[in-house]
Amino acid sequence: MITLLHGDHVEISRQELTNLKQKASGKEIRALDGRTLDHAVLTQALESTSLFGGDTLVIIENLTRYNAKKTKLLDQLASIISTNAKTADILLWEDKELSATQINRFGKDIQIRLFKTPVVLFQFLDGLKPDSRSLTLTLFEKAVQKDAPELLFTMIVRRFRQLLIVKDGGTPEGISPWQAGKLTSQAKLFTMGKLGLMYEKLLTIEYSIKSGATPFSMKEHIEQWLIEL
């Protein structure tokens, strides 16, 4: 059986990937990287028996992303996966949403799970700017109804890390030109000093939560941070 986890809500799909790995604790897990995968390695992973005599779970990450321009190779690898779908336990993870054409490469014996980022989360992250506490608090309340405060905190930290890189003249890894343009416009609303200060406060919140040195919840910490923004 093939299970596909895909979509732009990477944090949630990674959590589900971790959950599925934990549920497969009794199996031999074989993790493969789509960047370096070839016919021989894939065939061996899918068709060889477990050293311990039990079941196996083959996990392949970003096969389509890293081979998008290698159409012939991707078709061949997808064919091998499809051929083994009834006899092997296969888990595909992609950090973006695949098209119907891309999914069809793997045949019909596939369970598809799509993880899309809620629109309100993008609105919340894009709305982070100085002196906008009323709007950001409103958007935060809507976003927290869709995702856990801990996940939102992770997204805020990542956004401010990206803004710092852009403000310093760099380009964050793995983003498209239009995303870089949006980050550049957002970064212009801050001074480098303000960005650095708010990022440091995020790190302080993270330490306080992990060390148990705070009586406040993550949601309360984020709300206070937004007020100070």
Could you report the per-residue pLDDT of 9-47, keeping only the tens digit for each?
A: 888 899 999 999 999 888 889 999 988 888 899 999 888
| pLDDT of 94 | 94
| pLDDT of 24 | 85
| pLDDT of 11 | 86
Structural domains of the chain sorted by starting position, each given as residue range(s) with its CATH number in brackets: 2-114 (3.40.50.300), 119-228 (1.20.272.10)
Residue numbers in the chain where pLDDT is lower than 50: none
| pLDDT of 48 | 79
| pLDDT of 177 | 87
What does 160-213 look like in DSSP terms, one character per residue?
HHHHHHHHTT---TT--HHHHHHHHHHHTTS-HHHHHHHHHHHHHHHHHHHHT-
| pLDDT of 5 | 96
| pLDDT of 50 | 57
Both tokens of 70, joined, read 């290698």
Q: What are phi and psi of 142, to 5 degrees?
A: -75, -40
| pLDDT of 47 | 84
| pLDDT of 54 | 66
What is the spatial distance between Cα 65 and Cα 63, in angstroms, rounded to a whole number?
Answer: 6
| pLDDT of 27 | 86
23 C-beta neighbours (distance < 10 Å), count: 10
| pLDDT of 51 | 56
